[in-house]
Chains A and B, each alone.
Chain A
Amino acid sequence: MSIIELKNVSKTFDAKKSNIHALSNIDLCVEEGEIFGVIGLSGAGKSTLVRCMNLLEKPTDGEILIDGKNLLKLSNRELRLMRREIGMIFQHFNLLMQRNVLDNVCFPMEIAGVSKAEARKRAKQYLDIVGLSDKAKAYPVQLSGGQKQRVAIARTLASNPRIILCDEATSALDPQTTGTILNLLKQINKEYQITVVVITHEMRVVEEICDRVAVLDHGVLAEVGDVKEVFKAPKSNAAKALLLERKIKQLEGDVANDI
């Protein structure tokens, strides 16, 4: 059984002039323990897709199964418990600015009813995993973008998730920091068997860490497959276009280096 299974999922937004079909009849499975990428041009529906996976966005049609459980059939309380198993990190780190790093990681645990002492103990472990033990007492404004994202990752880890969804988690970061965050995600995936879903418009991210990738094109699933295969022999036009764009960027980079 796949850990995430989307069956015939559609999402339509009501807009004034015409309705926007952000997702059309998506069938998709993410297997336990893999790193799954979702790519597509801006507006392709990537965020909408991943937000359906924890029901931040309610699909207009279709079913979403996590571990075989239909999210749409859960009560509010069950959904909240389920969401703790599905961590999510964003482009904006969304830390509490008036609390220090340690308290930021503790906060969701305390809300969930973990005792203060226990929460602190666990938070320290998670900060250790993301390599920020020395910043426990720092406030978010004193951190770099990459460090903030590490705090967000530690905070997500604190609820013992089985899945982590990343929506453009590295888009606000420079290439080098992006690399270290990707490595961290990879490490978490390997050591804790957490399934990771990565949304990005950067091919490089997919190439570096994903096992499989889905290509979205105007709300339609254009292609799904092993990253190596999709990169070697793209079948859909959307994938070809994205690869071409990447090639051009590389060439531009080479030319710039030569000059």
Chain B
Amino acid sequence: MQNLGIDVLFKGTNMMRLLGGLWVSLRISLIAVLFSILLGVPLGILMSRKSRIIRAITRLYLEIVRIMPQMVLLFIVFFGTTRVFGWNLDAEVASVIVFSFWGCAEMSDLVRGALISIPKHQYESAKALGMNSLTVFVFIILPQTIRRLLPLSINLVTRMIKTTSLVMMIGVVEVLKVGQQIIEANRTSSPNAAFGVYGTVLLLYFIGCWPISMLSKYLEKKWNNV
């Protein structure tokens, strides 16, 4: 095992530290996902409206988020705003802000897409049965939207979890950073640690994301069969 460099993980509390790092990654992404859903869904509903002004503004927001690398956003929020406004921003909070900003944009676009893909006759036949707009939305449109939305948004969640590896650039000690620290500390005693540790980190990401994408597969299958 020596030459695979896995042994360092069993030294001291290394494995626990790595898992702690994973928890930081998951925590940031899950909180950001929560905000993305809470803010992105209403925003997406708003975007599906016909108003030109709303569409223009949201379009701009979406383009900015898409064009800007997440790393630049992180730097702006963490280093930029703390200097300019003189406040004290925790690196983890800054990460949550950036990831929510990004996730909310992506989420709203998914919601908008799902909503406008529901054909007009679905609204009309419900209205013709004497339902009011709220009932139509809640009982007819929303369930169909959620079905279309779920696989896509789960994909977004896994992308967000993976991208959290960037937050170590602003000093958050997440799973990848912990791995790096362990490798550094054992540079002389086990030079092959990079392989074992990064391999383990890979496995941890897999363990974090796999159940989520399995869930999405399961739901997709279940709903297609009904």
**A and B interact physically:** yes
A residues near B (Cβ < 8 Å) are 51, 54, 56, 76, 80-81, 83-84, 86-88, 90, 92, 94, 96-98, 107-108, 111-112, 139, 141, 152, 155-156, 159, 165
Kindly list chain B residues whose C-beta atoms are within 8 Å of the C-beta of A87. Answer: 128-129
Kindly list chain A residues whose C-beta atoms are within 8 Å of the C-beta of B140. Answer: 96
Q: Is B189 an interface residue (CB 8 A)?
A: no
Most interface-central of B119, B121, B129, B147 (chain A CB within 10 A): B129
Please, which residue of chain B has its CB at the minimum distance from the CB of A77? Answer: B132
The reply to whether A108 and B121 form a contact with Cβ atoms under 8 Å apart is no
Distance A87 CA – B124 CA, assembled complex (angstroms): 12
Distance A155 CA – B121 CA, assembled complex (angstroms): 16
Question: Nearest Cβ in chain B — how far from A148, in angstroms?
Answer: 12
B residues near A (Cβ < 8 Å) are 119, 121-122, 124-132, 135, 139-140, 143, 147, 223, 226
- Residues of B contacting A: mostly: helix
The reply to whether A94 and B121 form a contact with Cβ atoms under 8 Å apart is yes
Given the contacts A96-B140, A98-B143, A139-B226, A112 and B130 also touching, CB distance less than 8 Å: yes
Most interface-central of B121, B125, B128, B139 (chain A CB within 10 A): B128
Please, which residue of chain A has its CB at the minimum distance from the CB of B135? Answer: A111
Distance A76 CA – B140 CA, assembled complex (angstroms): 19
Extra pairs beyond A96-B140, A98-B223 (16, CB < 8 Å): A54-B128, A56-B127, A80-B132, A83-B127, A83-B130, A86-B128, A88-B128, A90-B124, A90-B125, A97-B226, A98-B143, A98-B226, A107-B139, A111-B135, A155-B129, A159-B130
Kindly list chain A residues whose C-beta atoms are within 8 Å of the C-beta of B129. Answer: 83-84, 87-88, 108, 111, 155-156, 159
Distance A111 CA – B127 CA, assembled complex (angstroms): 12
Question: Nearest Cβ in chain A — how far from B223, in angstroms?
Answer: 7
Distance A190 CA – B1 CA, assembled complex (angstroms): 86
Most interface-central of B126, B130, B135, B147 (chain A CB within 10 A): B130
A-B CB contact pairs (8 Å), 25 listed: A51-B124, A54-B128, A80-B131, A83-B129, A83-B130, A84-B130, A86-B128, A88-B124, A88-B128, A88-B129, A90-B124, A90-B125, A92-B119, A94-B121, A94-B122, A94-B126, A96-B143, A108-B130, A108-B131, A111-B139, A139-B226, A152-B125, A156-B129, A159-B130, A165-B128
